[in-house]
Structure 1
Amino acid sequence: MTYYGKCIETVIEQLDKFKPHKDNPEQFLETVSTSLQQTLSPQKLSFILDILAGCLEYRKLLTVVVDAFYVRDGRLCLWADYSLFEVICYLAMFQLDELGFQLFCSIIKSQPVAKTCKFLRFFFNPLNLCSWIKDEWSLIYETAHVKENWIDPLMRWQPEVQELINQLEGVPTDRTLLKTKAKVTEPKEFNLTVPKPRAITMPEPVPTMAKPRPVPQSTYQEPKEQKLLQMIKRFNRRTAEELLLKANMEELRCAMPRLRKDPQVQDVKKQQQQQQQQSVPRIRRTPNLTFYKPNSFPVKLNTATILREGALYQRQVEKELQRVDKLVDGAGDFSEFLEWQKKMQAKDLEEQLAAGECRRLQGKLSHEEAILARHNLMQENKQKADQKKEETAELMLQCAERRLQEEKSMRELVEQVTEAQKNVRLAHMKLVKGRQQIVQEVIEESRELLQRSTEEAREEQRRRCELIAQLRALETQPTRKGKLVDLTQIPGYGLEGEMSVVELRERLALLKETQKRERREKRDHIIQDKRAKSQKLQNTVEQISLCRAAMGRTAALRWEEKKAQAASLGTPSQDERVLELQRRMEERVAERRKQTAKLLLSPSRAVRPQLRAQEEVQHWLELDQSRERRLQARQEADRTCQPTRHLKAS
C-alpha cells in the first residue's frame, strides 16, 4: 500500500506543476522522466509515467467529471485535491481492467478514505453515468465509442465498487437481524482433495502508447500578416522621425549662426569690399534669429505646493505688518543706506563692463596669435615634407633589395616541398593500416557491451517477477475501516472555547458582517475628511491668486523704477588694461595683414581660390559687425539689469 501510495503522490505532485496554457505535454513528460530517473526504479518510473501521460491525454474527459463533483457533492472538499480526483477517475476509466480489482482496491486504500469514497460514489452512480456524463463525453468523442469503451465497463464494475465503498465506510452488507435465537445447523465440510496453490503467472508486457502527432510549429509563431504590419509600422515611424529631424535641423540652421571659418584674408580685402559697396547697392542680410523660451508655463499645483505657498504668503503678510508696527513706533529709515548702495552698484557695474571688454579683447588677441602660429606651422610642415620625401626614396631602395632576397628564399622552399611530396604515399599506407586495427578493436568492444546489456536485462526481468510476487502477497492484508464525521458534534477535548464546525462557521459569518460594517463606516469618515480638505485647499488657492496679483503689480512698478534708474547711468569709462590690449591688438592685426598680403601676391595662387577668399572676407566682416552690435546690446542689457540684481540681493 505504501508503494502505490508513494507512486500516486508523485503523480499528483507532477500534475499540480503542469500548466496547460504554457507547458507542452511531451516536453513536460520528458522533463519529469529525466528528473525522476535517478531517484526511482524503472518499474516505478514506468508506472508513474503511464498514469501521468494518460491524465494529460484525456484531461478534457476528466475535468468534466471532477468539475461536476465539486459543484454537486464536493462543495466542502479542498481544491488542492483536484489532481487526486483526476488520477482516481483515470484509473477507474482506463486501468481498472488491466490492473485488476484487487490492485485497484489497494490503490484506493492507500489514499484518504473519506475523499475517495465520496468521489467513487458520485462517479459510479448509474444515474450520473447514463445521463449527463455520457452526454458531455459524447460532445468530445463519438457516442458509440463512449458507450462501448467507457460507459459499459464502468456499469459492469459498479456493484463491486459499491461493495468496496460500503466496506471502507463500515456499512454492513447483510442487515438482516435474527429475532429469535434458533438452533443453527452446522454444515460439515466435504472430504475433498486440497487443490494445489496457483503458480504466479508471468507479467504481461506493458503496452506502449502510440506517440501522438507533434504540435505544428505554426501554433507557436506569429502570423505573417502581423509581422508585415509591424514592419510597416516601424518603417513609417522611421520615416516620420527622419522628417522631424530634418525640420528641426532646418530650424536650427535658421536660428544658429554659421561656424567661423579660417579668417586669413579678412582685413586685406576690406578696401575691395568698400569699393564694391560704393559702386553697387548693398543687399543687407536678415539678422540671425534667436529663440527665447516663454517666461510662464501652466504649472499644476499639488497639495504640498499649495499649502507651502499659502504659508509663504502668510509669513510675508505678517512680516509686513510687523514692519509697519515698528515704523509707527518710531523705527529708523533706510534712505541713506539705499543711496550709498546705488553708488556702489554703479561703480561695480563700471568695473564689470571694463572686465568684459578686457575679456573680449583678449579673445581677439588670442585669435590673431593663433593665426600667426598657423602660418609658422605651415612653413615647418613644408620642411618636414621635404625630409619625408628623401626618407621614402631610401626606403624604396631597401624594399627592392628585400624583395630579391624573398624570391630566393621562395625558390628554396618550393624545392623542399617537392621532395616532401614523394614521402606522402608511404605515410598514407601506414595510416590506413593503423585505422583498420582500431576498427577491429572497436567491434570487439561493442560485442562485449551487447552481451553485458542482455545479462542486465535478464536480471531486471527476474527482479520484476520477485517484486510482483511481493506486491500480490501485500494485497491480501486487511485494511482499517473509515470513520464518519459529524459537523454538529463538539470534539470534547476539554479546551476553552471548544465548539463544533457548524457553530464556528456561523461565528465567522457574523465576524465578517461586523468587519464589513466597520469598513463602511471608516470609508464614510475618510470621504468626509477628503471633502473638508479639498474645501480648505480651494480657499488657499483663491488666497494665493490674490497675493500673486498684488505681487505682480508691485514687481511691475519696481521694474519701471529700475529702468528709469538704468537710463540715467553713463557709458563705462576706459581702463588702462583695455587701452593696452587695444594697442597689442592693432600690432597683431598689422603683422597678420603683412603675411596675408605676401600669400595673396604669390604667383602660385589660382583665380578661383581668390574669389572664394573674397567671399569669405566679406562674410566674416559681416559676422564681426553683427557680433559687435550684439555685444553692445548685451552690455546695455547688463547695465540696466545689474542694479536690479543688487536690490534683490539686499
Structure 2
Amino acid sequence: MKHARLLNYCINILNDFNKKVDGVEQHLSSFIKQNKILDRGEEQFITEVFSGSVQHAKVMNVVTEGFFRSDGWNSLKSDKNLYTVLCYLSLYRLDELGMANYRKFIRTQDVNKMFKFLSFFLNENNLHSWIKDEWCKIYEHTYVQVNLISPIQRWLPELKELIIQLQDKIDNKLKAKSPKTVTELSPFKLTKPRPRSVPVPEKIPTVSKPKDVPKSTYKLPSEQKLIQEARERNRRRTEEQLLGATKSQFKCASKEKSDKTKIRMQNVIADQESKLMFEGSKARPLPTNTADNIPIKLNMATILREGALYQKREQDVIKKLSLLEAGAKDGSEFQMWQDEMRQKDLEKELSEIERRRLEGKLSHEEAILARQSLIQDNRQKVLKMKEEAEEMMQEYVARRLDEEKVLRELVEDVLAGHQNAKEAKQKLQNYKRKIAEEVSEESRGLLRQAFEEAAQDMRRKIDLVQEIRAMEAAPKNNRKFIDWTSTAGHALLSEMSIAELKERLCLMKAKQLEEEENKRDTILEAKEAKEQMLMEKLEQISRHRIAEGQLASKKQVEKQKKPEKAKSVDPKLKALQDKLEQKKLERLQTAEQNKIKPTKESAAVTSSLNKQKRIQEDSRWRELEQRRERQAALQAEGVLTNVSGQKLSSFSQRSRSAGKLAC
C-alpha cells in the first residue's frame, strides 16, 4: 500500500466533488473508473475516507477554518482538503490505522505544513476550549466526549512525539546514536607485592619569626605632599591676581576699538568707496506710457468663451422680446422692488454687525473691571500666604538643624568602618589578578590555534580561486553564422525570414507616409475654417462691447442724478454706545484708585538706592582708569599684558616657587 498515492486519491476526489450536482456513490464510482483503481484494499480505503469526510464535513470545517483564521493565515486555501483528510484520519480512523501507518501518511507531505497543522490541531488548549464548544453545537456533549475527544486523548502522547520529530527535522537535528559497548578489561591475577615499610618522619626545623615590613614602605614621603600643597596655593594666588588684573584694566589702554567707533569707520569707508565707483551699473529708466488703452491679445479659448457668452445673451434677449410680444409683463418694477428690499436687508445686517461689535467692547470692559477686582483679592491672599510661609520656614530651619546633627553622628560611625573595608578590598584585588593571569594564558593558546586554522582555510581558498581563473582563461569559440533568408523554424503561421521582414517594413513605411500627407491636408482645411469662425466671433464681440460701454455710461449719469438718502441711527445702537462710554469711565476711575502711590518711606529708600548705585559706578570707573594706567606702563617697559602673557608669567612664577620648595 503506497501511502502518498492513497492520500493524493483522497484529496483529488474531494476536490472534484460538488454536492449540489453529484451524489456520493455516483461520484465515487466515476472517480474509481476514471483513475483505474483495481486494488480492492485501496478502493475500500478511498471509499471509507471519502464517505466519512462528506458525512462529518461540519466537524472537519470547524478545525480547518479555525486553522486558517489563526495559525494558517499564510497557508494555501487549496490545501484545505489535505487538512480535512488528515483530520478525519486522526479523529475516526487512528485506531484502525495504527501509529506506524499514520506516521507514513504524514511524512509523504511537506514537513512545515504538517508541523504547523498538527501543532495547532493537537494543542490541548484548543481541543478542550473552543473546538470542543463548536463540536457541541453540531452533536451532543456525550457523543463529542466519547467519540471525538477521548480517542484523540489516548493517542496524544504518540502524536506529540511525532510533532517533536517534525520540529527536529525542520531544525536539522540528528538523532542521537546509541553508544557502542566497550570491551571491559579484566586485570591479571598476579602475586601482590609486600607493602613497603613506612619511613620515620624527619624533624622539621623551626625558623625564627621575621620582622614586619615597616609601614613607611607603603606611604608616600611627606615632602611630596608639601610640594603639592605649595603648588596649589601658588596656582590659586596667581589665578586671583590674573582675575583682579583683568577686571581692573584701563579702557584707554585697550587696543580694540568700541562697536560705535567701528560702525563710524565702516560708514566713512563706505562713503569714500561710493565716490570712487566710476563705472557702476546704472538703473534703467521707467518706460513712458504711450497710450491709455493698450490692446489686449486674445487667444482662441477666450474668443470662443466670450463669443458663446454674447451668443447666449442674444438668445435670452430674443426670447424675452418674443414673450413680451405674446403678452408677458415686464419685470423692471419687480427688479426695483427687489433692489430696495436687498438694500434694507443690507442696512439691517450692518446694524446687527455694529450691535455685536459694541456688545463685544462692552463685555471687554466688564472683563477688565472683573480682572481688577480679582487682582485686588489676589493681593490680599498673597500677603496672607507670605505670613504663613515665614512661619513654615522657621519650623523648617529648626527641623533641618536636628537632621544635620543626626547625620553628623552617622558620618562619624561610617568613617570608623571604612578602615576595615580597605583591607578586604586589597585581598580581593590580589585574587582577581591571579585569575586574570590564568585566563590570559588560556586565551593566548586558543588565539594561536584560531590563527593556524584561518591560515589553512585561506590557503585552500587561494588554490580554489586559481583553479577557477585558469578555467575562465581557457579560449572559447562563440561565433555564430546567420542566414538572412531562412526562418527560425518555430512552425508558426506568421513566421518569416529577416529579408522578407525588411521588405514588409519598407512597404508599411511608404503607406504610412501617404496617410500622413492626407492627414496634413485635412488639418490645413480645418485650420482655415477655424480662423474664419474666429474672425466672425471677434466682430460680434466688438459690437457687444461698444453697446455695453454706452449702457454703462448711461447708468452712471442716472446714478449721479439720484439724491443720497440720510442715514438713520438705530436707538438700540445709541443706547449701547452710551453704556460703553459709562463702563470705560468706570474702569478708568477704578484703575486710578488701584494705582500704587509712593509714600515718604518708599521715596527715601529709592533715593538711597540711586545714591549707592552712583557711588558704585564712580568707584568702578576709577578702578578701570587705574588698571589701564598700570597696563600702559607695563607695555612701555615691554611686559606682556594680554591674558595669554599673564598666564605664561603666572606659570613661570609657579614653577620657580615649586623648584624652591623642592630644593
Shorter-chain-normalised TM-score: which range? Answer: 0.3 to 0.5
The TM-score with structure 1 as length reference comes to 0.37
Higher relative contact order, structure no. (Cα contacts within 8 Å, ≥ 6 residues apart): 2
> Which structure has the larger Rg?
2
The TM-score with structure 2 as length reference comes to 0.37
